[in-house]
Structure 1
Amino acid sequence: MFIRTVELDEATGEIAELYKAEKKAMGCVMQATQCWSARPDVIIPIENLLDQIRDGFSLGLLNFRLITFVVAGDVPSSYCSHVYFRSLSSMLGRDQALAIRQDYRNAGLTGQQVEMLAYAKQITRNASQITQADIERLRNVGLTDVNIADVALAASFRNFMSRYFDAVGATVEEDFLDDDPEVREMMAVGRK
């Protein structure tokens, strides 16, 4: 980490409670969480916003994670690619998660998921180029305006989060790194 953050043994109040809950759930306090503690006034609102977007995501947790994983590849964020490869592998299987990284359009996803991910990638690459025709394409595969807004929120939030993690030097925890060196290299889309 490039900046000073609150360590687990230094944490008090709400930060201590957040750290304690994450350590219990994950076995550690992730650098992705810890890096926000440099601004103790925003760590809880940021975590709450993530929970609200993810837990209320109208297309379900799998699609939230698909968006996060695909967007992380374009940001590019090695940290988020490694972490979300692990979570998608547990949900879909390792082979399909690898196929999604290589080419989500030909990875056995539904047509709706492919269009959803194409939109998320557009947001990451250049949201100013999105047109009404792009939105109509999403509606044509059955996405509602709430779904479209949720995809935009998830993609935009991942851009914000991933760019912040890199800007302050968060590094992926060893537990999230794949055992296969080739897969590690594939997920190392940004900082090595």
Structure 2
Amino acid sequence: MIVTSPAADAVTGHAAKMYADDLAADGFVFAYTQAMALNPEAHAAFEALIRSLVPSIGVRVFELATLGAARGIRSSHCLLAHGRKTLRAGLMDEERLARLGRDYHDAELDAADLAVMTYAERLSTDAASMTDADSQALRDVGFTDRQIVDITLAAAARNFFSRTLLALAMPVESVPGIDGDLAEALLSPVRNG
């Protein structure tokens, strides 16, 4: 890790909560949490942004936008972490999540889910070429203007977070509950990209 993170006994406030949340959930503090603890105000602002999006688009759409963006960025951290969040939220089973990881076009997603993944991946790989047609594809499957903005913000927020971790060369740690074939499937965009 290229930055020196604060020790567990040195963090207070939001940073202490970040560490405590990781410890309670997984028994250790992820390297990316330690890096973000260097600027806990930015992390808190990021979390507030995410909380402002979910009421409009729901957890499923948020996670699909996040996974689509992480796929485009080839972010191992976020593919694994949000793969686990998708499982824990009961949004899909392991078999479908593995299929989504390998090729979301082959994961039996409905038209709306597929449109979200496609949009978020495109935003993450070629946002400069996006046109009204990209937003229209979301509108055509039933999303409102507010939801289109929030899907865009969800994918853009993933770009912010993922690219920060990539630029800081954060090590990719195993995510409890995501291993073996499922981890391989989720990481296939990274390995094959």
Q: Is the 8 A contact 1:123 1:130 kept in 2?
A: yes
Structure 2 Cα separation of the partners of residues 161 and 21 of structure 1 = 18
- Give the AA of the match of 1:68: T
Aligned match of 2:82 in 81, 84, 87? 84
Q: CA 1:180 to 1:10, structure 2 compared with 1: closer, same or farther past 3 Å?
A: same
How far did residue 45 of structure 1 move?
Answer: 2.2
TM-score w.r.t. the length of structure 2 is: 0.84
User: SS in structure 1 opposite 2:68?
Assistant: helix
Q: CA 1:176 to 1:169, structure 2 compared with 1: closer, same or farther past 3 Å?
A: farther
Q: Mark the runs of 5 or more structure 2 residues left unpaired by the alignment.
A: none
How far did residue 124 of structure 1 move?
Answer: 0.7
How far did residue 137 of structure 1 move?
Answer: 2.2
User: SS in structure 1 opposite 2:37?
Assistant: helix
Q: Is the 8 A contact 1:70 1:101 kept in 2?
A: no
In structure 2, the residue matched to 1:127 is 127
Q: Is the 8 A contact 2:115 2:137 kept in 1?
A: yes
Q: Is the 8 A contact 2:80 2:186 kept in 1?
A: no
Q: Deviations over 1:1-38 (max 9, x none)?
A: 22011122211233223432443344433333221122
Aligned match of 1:75 in 73, 76, 91? 73
Structure 2 Cα separation of the partners of residues 16 and 131 of structure 1 = 42
In structure 2, the residue matched to 1:17 is 17
How far did residue 182 of structure 1 move?
Answer: 7.7
Structure 2 Cα separation of the partners of residues 39 and 171 of structure 1 = 18
How many residues were matched structurally? 188
Of 25-34 and 174-183, more deviation after overlay is shown by 174-183
How do residues 118-157 of structure 1 correspond to structure 2 at under 5 angstroms?
118-157=118-157
Structure 2 Cα separation of the partners of residues 133 and 160 of structure 1 = 24
In structure 2, the residue matched to 1:163 is 163
User: SS in structure 2 opposite 1:70?
Assistant: helix
- Give the AA of the match of 1:170: M
Q: Mark the runs of 5 or more structure 1 residues left unpaired by the alignment.
A: none
Structure 2 Cα separation of the partners of residues 62 and 138 of structure 1 = 15
RMSD: 2.4
Q: Is the 8 A contact 1:36 1:43 kept in 2?
A: yes
Q: CA 1:170 to 1:52, structure 2 compared with 1: closer, same or farther past 3 Å?
A: farther
In structure 1, the residue matched to 2:112 is 112
Q: CA 1:139 to 1:41, structure 2 compared with 1: closer, same or farther past 3 Å?
A: closer
How far did residue 122 of structure 1 move?
Answer: 1.5
Q: Percent identity?
A: 29
How far did residue 99 of structure 1 move?
Answer: 0.9
Structure 1 Cα separation of the partners of residues 116 and 135 of structure 2 = 10
TM-score w.r.t. the length of structure 1 is: 0.84
Structure 2 Cα separation of the partners of residues 179 and 101 of structure 1 = 13
User: SS in structure 2 opposite 1:172?
Assistant: coil
